[in-house]
Structure 1
Amino acid sequence: MKNKRYFPLYVDLSDKNVVVVGGGTIATRRVKALLLFTRNITVIAPKMTADLWELGKLGKIQIQPRPVKKSDFSMAYMVLAVTNNRELNEEIYHACKEEGIYVNVASDKDLCDFYFPGICLKDDVVVGITASGMNHKKARAVREKVQALLEEIAKDEESYE
């Protein structure tokens, strides 16, 4: 099957509820990226990284240190399934599809309504980078170059003032 291209859509998440199921390194990276756009993040996992616990203590995210339940998605705009359990991730996918909730399953690009992009951010410019779930190293290399370019442009703008 030919790989699908996903349309880049920029969405205001400031008042949307995001549920992240999983508490590991990938979940932590995604939560930190999401915090640039919303504070309405709930992380659900029996075990979480120290960074997630700290973000919870600081009140930046809601943490639920327990297994996920289907009812956890009732108010979600989007859900990220970032566990190391493929079967659980697939259950989350199906539960979200039944409810019409956008879902991203980190372990299976075919179970994603959206890809979680590499994000470049400088002032009011936001650039999302994806390689359509095919080549994460390539996407990272592009993201790093675009971020460097944004930094360079910002320095140039300062010299014009």
Structure 2
Amino acid sequence: MKKPYFPLFVDLSEKKVYVIGAGTIAKRRIRSLIDFTDHLTVVAPEVNPELNTLEQEGRIAILRKKFELKDIVDADLVIAATNDHTLNNDIYEYCIGENILVNVCNDKQKCDFYFPGLAMTDQVVVGVTANGTNHKMAKKVVEKIREMLGECL
């Protein structure tokens, strides 16, 4: 039996974070990360208006191009969120070889970390995961925590 993931809070403010892809899952990951880093780069040939707006606000950078491994040579953390399983695997193999933390969105066996459900206020951040297995339960727990945090304010 695999051990559960350890909940670790990390300062990403100066870390270089890359999200490869700009689909639905990539957008969710970007929304989760954007408040935690000043160096978030999206690599995708095309992006939607929401990501364009974030770029215009200076909150993310976008490389509008087909991904190449050289794009992440200076990365600290990479999210592979494309619909191309071969490309996601290539990203994973590169990151493992370079000791870059990686999350392959469509393969939990290729994830150094999971994305928690987040409940946040200005002074409190709570992350919840069900070890990547029961997303509905984790979501319910996050909703309850958000209610509790709202009561504390």
What TM-score, normalized to structure 2? Answer: 0.95
Please state how far the C-alpha of 1:133 moved relative to its aligned partner. 0.8
Please state how far the C-alpha of 1:4 moved relative to its aligned partner. 3.2
Pair 1:66 & 2:65 matched: yes
SS in 2 for 1:142: helix
The separation in 1 between residues aligned to 2:52 and 2:70, in whole angstroms, is 22
Residue equivalent to 1:44 = 43
Greater than 4 Å deviation, 4+ residue runs: none
SS in 2 for 1:52: helix
**Which of the two has higher C-alpha Rg?**
1
What aligned pairs does 1:5-20 form with structure 2 within 5 A after superposition? Answer: 5-20=4-19
Please state how far the C-alpha of 1:94 moved relative to its aligned partner. 0.5
Q: Count residues in correspondence.
A: 153
Aligned identity (percent) is 48
Contact 1:80 1:104 in 2 (8 A): yes
Contact 1:22 1:83 in 2 (8 A): yes
SS in 1 for 2:70: helix
SS in 1 for 2:96: helix
The separation in 1 between residues aligned to 2:83 and 2:141, in whole angstroms, is 27
Give unmatched runs, 5+ long, in structure 2. Answer: none
The separation in 2 between residues aligned to 1:103 and 1:85, in whole angstroms, is 16
Across the aligned residues of Structure 1 and Structure 2, the Cα RMSD in angstroms comes to 1.1
The separation in 2 between residues aligned to 1:47 and 1:143, in whole angstroms, is 32
Give unmatched runs, 5+ long, in structure 1. Answer: 155-161
SS in 1 for 2:12: coil
